[in-house]
Amino acid sequence: MSLRRLLLAASLLAPFAAAAQPVEGLYLGAGAGLNFAPEASDHGVRLSTRDPGAAAVLSLGWGFGNGWRAEIEGNYRNNEIDRLSLNGTRIGGSGQYDKYGVMANLLFDFDLSSFGLSPRTYQPYLGIGGGYVWNDIRNARLRVGGSGYRIEDTDPQFAYQAILGSAFGLGNMVPGLSLTAEYRFLGTLDPKFNLTRTSGPAVPGVPGSIEPSNSNHSVLLGLRYAFNPPPAPAVAEAPAPVTAPAPARTYLVFFDWDRADLTERARQIIADAAAAARRVQTTRIEVAGHADRSGTPQYNQRLSQRRADAVANELVRQGIAREEIAVTAFGETKPLVPTADGVREPQNRRVEIILR
C-alpha cells in the first residue's frame, strides 16, 4: 500500500465528520498482538521470517470533539529470521529482525447510532500515520561456499501506516475506558543492511549490502482511556402528570329591585357556598355584585357594592375568613341578560359567589 493511497483514503473520510461521536480531550492507548512480515529479497538474497512475531504500540492522543483524533505513537515489532537464501540456495536461518519507531497518526471515529449501535458501546475508526522506524537485524549468520557472513546492522527509514480498528466501550466498569481491536499495516522505505564477511575468502556474487522491502501486518488488542469522557446520556424522566384544575363553582344570589338585604333563600344559597368552600378546600372565593339598568350607572355601581358586601358578611358569619374573600362590584356593566337602559331585569340584580 503506497503513501499516496493512504492520503487518498484519509480524504474520503472528511464527508462523515459531522456524524461522528466526539472523543474530546486527552487519551492514552496501548495494544499488543501479532506481527506478520512477508518475505523480502534484494540482489538475489531472500529473507523470510518465522511468523507470527510480536507487536506492541503505545499512543498518547487528543480528541477534537468532532470525530477526529491525532496521536503520537511509539511502536515495536519483532520477527525471528527463519531463512536466508542466495539465488534459491539456503545460506542461513538465524537472527532477529526488530522494527521500532515513532509515528504521528490521524484517525477518525464513525458514529453508527443511526444503525442502532451506540458509540458508547461500539465505534469503528480508520486512521493513517507517518514517521520513522528503525530497522534492526541482529545476529543473522550466513555461510556461502565455506565463507562466513553476518548481518548486524540498523537503518532508520521513513514509515507509513494504515489503521482499521474498533472500540468497545467499558464505561460501565470504568468511565472513559474502551477495549480496542485493530489491524495495522506498517511499511517503510527499503532499509539498507550491510553484509560483513566473518571468515574465509570473499565469494563472488555475494553483495556487500541488501535493501529488502519492509512491510508488516499486525493484529492488536488493547485498551484506550479517555481522561475526559463525554457524560452519559441523560435518561429522560417521565413528565409529572398534569392535574387539571378543578372547575370553578358558581352560586347566584338574587335581590329584589333596589334592595341589598338578604332573603331567607339568599342566606340558604350562601350557606351552601360556605359549606362547599370548606369541603373542597377552595383557594379563593370571589364575590361579585351586579345591578340591572333601571337606575343611573353611578347609583347601580354603589348598589352592586352594597349587595356584594352583604353576601361577603354572611359568608364570614358562616365561618369563612374575611381574607379569603375577594369582593368586586360591576354595577350594570356585566348583565346576565342584556337589556335596554331603564329595564328592570330580576336576573341582573344578583351577586355571584365563585369558588376557585
Report the CATH number that the domain containing residue 221 is assigned in CATH: 2.40.160.20
Amino acid 200 reads G
If you compute the radius of gyration of the chain from its CA atoms, what whole number of angstroms results?
Answer: 46
Quote the domain boundaries for residue 333: 249-355
Pairwise pLDDT comparison (176 vs 165), residue with the higher score = 165
**According to the model, what pLDDT value does residue 235 have?**
59
Pairwise pLDDT comparison (237 vs 324), residue with the higher score = 324
Burial class (CB in 10 A: 0-12, 13-18, 19+), 173: exposed
- Strand 45-64 and strand 68-86: the pairing is antiparallel
238 in any annotated domain: no
Return mean pLDDT, the chain. 88
* 182 and 93 share one domain: yes
* 262 and 221 share one domain: no
Confidence at 10, pLDDT banded by 50, 70, 90 = very low
What distance in Å separates the CA atoms of residue 348 and residue 339, rounded to the nearest whole number?
9
Confidence at 145, pLDDT banded by 50, 70, 90 = confident
* 324 and 202 share one domain: no
Residue with cell 508488516: 216
150 in any annotated domain: yes
Query: What are the cell numbers at 290?
Result: 351586579
* 220 and 294 share one domain: no
pLDDT surpasses 80 at 282: no
Question: Mean pLDDT lowest for which of 36-40, 119-123, 185-189, 352-356?
Answer: 119-123
**According to the model, what pLDDT value does residue 127 have?**
97
What is the pTM for the complete model shown?
Answer: 0.61
Confidence at 81, pLDDT banded by 50, 70, 90 = very high
Confidence at 118, pLDDT banded by 50, 70, 90 = confident
* 187 and 302 share one domain: no
Contact assessment for residue 85 and residue 115, using Cβ atoms and an 8 Å cutoff:
no
What distance in Å separates the CA atoms of residue 52 and residue 16, rounded to the nearest whole number?
35
* 67 and 100 share one domain: yes
Burial class (CB in 10 A: 0-12, 13-18, 19+), 8: exposed
* 141 and 33 share one domain: yes
Using DSSP's 3-state secondary structure scheme, residue 299 falls into helix
Using DSSP's 3-state secondary structure scheme, residue 198 falls into strand
* 101 and 215 share one domain: yes
DSSP 20: P
